[in-house]
Amino acid sequence: MKELPLGKVYQLIEPGPVVMLTTAQRGRADIMTMSWHMMVDFEPPLIACVVSEADYSFAALRTTKECVIAIPAVGLASKVVKVGNSSGRDIDKFAAFGLTPLPAEQVKAPLVKECFANIECRVTDTRLVNRYNLFILEGVKAWIDPSRSRPRPSTTTATAGSWSTARPSSSNRRCPKRD
């Protein structure tokens, strides 16, 4: 056995595929790349996610208590990387990266047309936001694109705060503090 630095443990246990989280505040939609999330309960679906207070989306999520988790297939990896390497403070990421916002039914945050699945969510628990930036979301409506048969979700890696793509089986992933 070889010793692994504790700062690399996340590479072994970070859950799930990369997703994109959309928010909307004061008529402006934003989208960020996110890989720190996990299921908490089945029905209703509860999802825990970490959104750094340094992320542009943090204020909108905290204020509106609404978002959409959009799940991209591996074919969108290059756009997911670009979204993750930019900030909504500076640009409209939907327009800049050719992503199509669609109206959601239960929340103001948009669905992402290019993603094979979208989950409309409301924040149900913020008790750990101040300490860990951890939000508990409840899925209130879910959408799937029936034209896609079992698409493969992607994962990400990051080095020095920059996103890149990886195969789903990769254990070399990290969530940078940007959106």
In a domain, 47, yes or no: yes
In a domain, 124, yes or no: yes
Q: Which residue has the higher pLDDT, 134 or 3?
A: 134
CATH number, domain of 134, equals 2.30.110.10
Q: How confident is the model at residue 34 (pLDDT cuts 50, 70, 90)?
A: very high
In a domain, 21, yes or no: yes
Please give the tally of structural domains in the chain: 1
In a domain, 36, yes or no: yes
The pLDDT value given to residue 2: 79
Handedness of CA 142, 166, 24, 36 (dihedral sign): positive
> Could you tell me the two tokens for 125?
């628990």
> Could you tell me the two tokens for 101?
């916002």
Task: Give 57's contacts (C-beta < 8 A, 6+ positions apart).
Answer: 21, 23, 30, 31, 32, 51, 67, 88, 179
In a domain, 29, yes or no: yes
The kind and range of the H/E element at 32 are strand 28-34
Q: How many Cβ atoms are within 10 Å of 173's Cβ, its own excluded? A: 21
Q: How confident is the model at residue 23 (pLDDT cuts 50, 70, 90)?
A: very high
> Could you tell me the two tokens for 97?
């990266």
The pLDDT value given to residue 112: 98
Domain limits at 90? 6-166
In a domain, 71, yes or no: yes
SS3 content of the chain, % helix, strand, coil (to 5): 20, 35, 45
Task: Give the Cα separation of 132 and 146 in Å (integer).
Answer: 36
pTM of the predicted structure, to 2 decimals: 0.82
**Token pair 């008529």 in the structure block, residue:** 27
Task: Give the Cα separation of 80 and 173 in Å (integer).
Answer: 14
Question: Does residue 126 come out as left (phi exceeding 0), alpha (psi in the -120 to 50 range) or beta?
Answer: alpha
Helices (H), 75-148: 77-84, 93-96, 129-132
Q: Could you report the per-residue pLDDT of 46-101, keeping only the tens digit for each?
A: 999 999 999 999 999 999 999 999 999 989 999 999 999 999 999 999 999 999 99
In a domain, 24, yes or no: yes
